[in-house]
Amino acid sequence: MEKWPIGVFASVDAGLGVHFDVVQELGIPTIQLHAPHQDTRTEQTAKDFLGRCSDAGIVITAVFGGFEGESYADIPTTVRTVGLVPEETRAARVQEMKEISDFAAQLGCTTVALHIGFVPEDRNGDSYQGLLAVTRELLDHVAGNGQCLNLETGQETADHLLEFIADVERDNLFINFDPANMILYGTGDPIEALKKVGKYVRSVHCKDGTWAAPEKRGKEWGAEVPLGEGDVGMETYLRTLKDLGYDGPLTIEREIAHDRERQKADIGAAVNLLTELRERIG
Ligand code: MG
């Protein structure tokens, strides 16, 4: 693969990502795939989808897990509902994430990814220790499929994410860096965070956002905006990735699935911006 191939977050069926025909129409060569719902997550679905990708010359670079009952409505709801952190759903979701890893293997994909949830701050607490245990169990399953697991960033600070990765003590745990999330969740300057966690970054999102007002940071969302219009600073972001030696895909994420026309237009503009920046500094 060329350095910094453009990518986009896509869905097999109706989901958070863009539809496959949009990926084709925009000529985007790589995708991260949002795992389809349990009912359609079959070997046949994998085979059919992989066929469509091969025909279109599209490479699947990661499969993202997500779960029924997750809601990003506001930050407190996200804390309560997302990932493997909530204890009531933890066991079932770990099982489902293993199945998503198996589905990714059927797609020939060696990277799975997820929002693990807000990693508890107390490293000696039961919730943190329980999360460590299931993360190890999941990583061992993922390793059995020859895969690594990339954690999406933003729900904790870069320092705490580094502590968690060190505490897990597995060699197939990495990071999917999302600079906008650091801003949206109010967890730190994205460029400083990227420099800190750089050695673990194996995939990235190209997404932009603006900070919430200082007194609201971490309590209320910042705003997700079209790439290049927010506070990340795309040129600095790419230069930092270059300094870190990152040459993997630049996967565009635009989380406005409720407005498909605008999503497509914004992604088209993001492709142009990244293509121009890549030519200049890649
Ligand atoms: Mg993201």
Query: Cα of 178 to ligand 1 centre, how many Å?
Result: 5
Distance of CA 116 to the CA centre of its chain: 10
pLDDT at 16: 65
Query: Cα of 279 to ligand 1 centre, how many Å?
Result: 24
Query: Cα of 253 to ligand 1 centre, how many Å?
Result: 6
Query: Cα of 72 to ligand 1 centre, how many Å?
Result: 12
Q: What are phi and psi of 252, to 5 degrees?
A: -75, 135
- Measured at the CA of 211, the angle between CA 216 and CA 64, to 5 degrees, comes to 105
Domain encompassing residue 151: 6-281
Q: Distance (Å, rounded) from C-alpha 201 to C-alpha 169?
A: 17
Query: Cα of 53 to ligand 1 centre, how many Å?
Result: 22
Say if 155 falls within a structural domain: yes
pLDDT at 59: 97
Percent helix, strand and coil across the chain, each rounded to 5? 45, 15, 35
pLDDT at 14: 59
Query: Cα of 177 to ligand 1 centre, how many Å?
Result: 7
Query: Cα of 44 to ligand 1 centre, how many Å?
Result: 28
Domain count, the chain: 1
Query: Cα of 147 to ligand 1 centre, how many Å?
Result: 20
Show contacts of 159-168: CB within 8 Å, 24+ apart: 159/196, 160/119, 160/121, 161/119, 161/197, 162/196, 162/197, 162/200, 163/123, 164/119, 164/132, 165/200, 167/123, 167/132, 168/132, 168/135, 168/136, 168/139
- Measured at the CA of 155, the angle between CA 111 and CA 13, to 5 degrees, comes to 50
Whether the pTM exceeds 0.85: the reply is: yes
pLDDT at 15: 62
Query: Cα of 181 to ligand 1 centre, how many Å?
Result: 7
CATH of residue 109's domain is 3.20.20.150
Query: Cα of 151 to ligand 1 centre, how many Å?
Result: 10
CA distances from 280 to 24, 133, 208, 235 (A): 25, 45, 20, 10
Say if 1 falls within a structural domain: no
Per-residue pLDDT tens listing for the chain (282 residues): 789 999 999 987 756 678 888 999 999 999 999 998 898 899 999 999 999 999 999 999 999 999 999 999 999 999 999 999 999 999 999 999 999 999 999 999 999 999 999 999 999 999 999 999 999 999 999 999 999 999 999 999 999 999 999 999 999 999 999 999 999 999 999 999 999 999 999 999 999 999 999 999 999 999 999 999 999 999 999 999 999 999 999 999 998 888 889 999 999 999 999 999 999 998
Contact 256, 270 (CB under 8 A): no
Over residues 114-131, the pLDDT tens digits come to 999 999 999 999 999 999
Query: Cα of 224 to ligand 1 centre, how many Å?
Result: 11
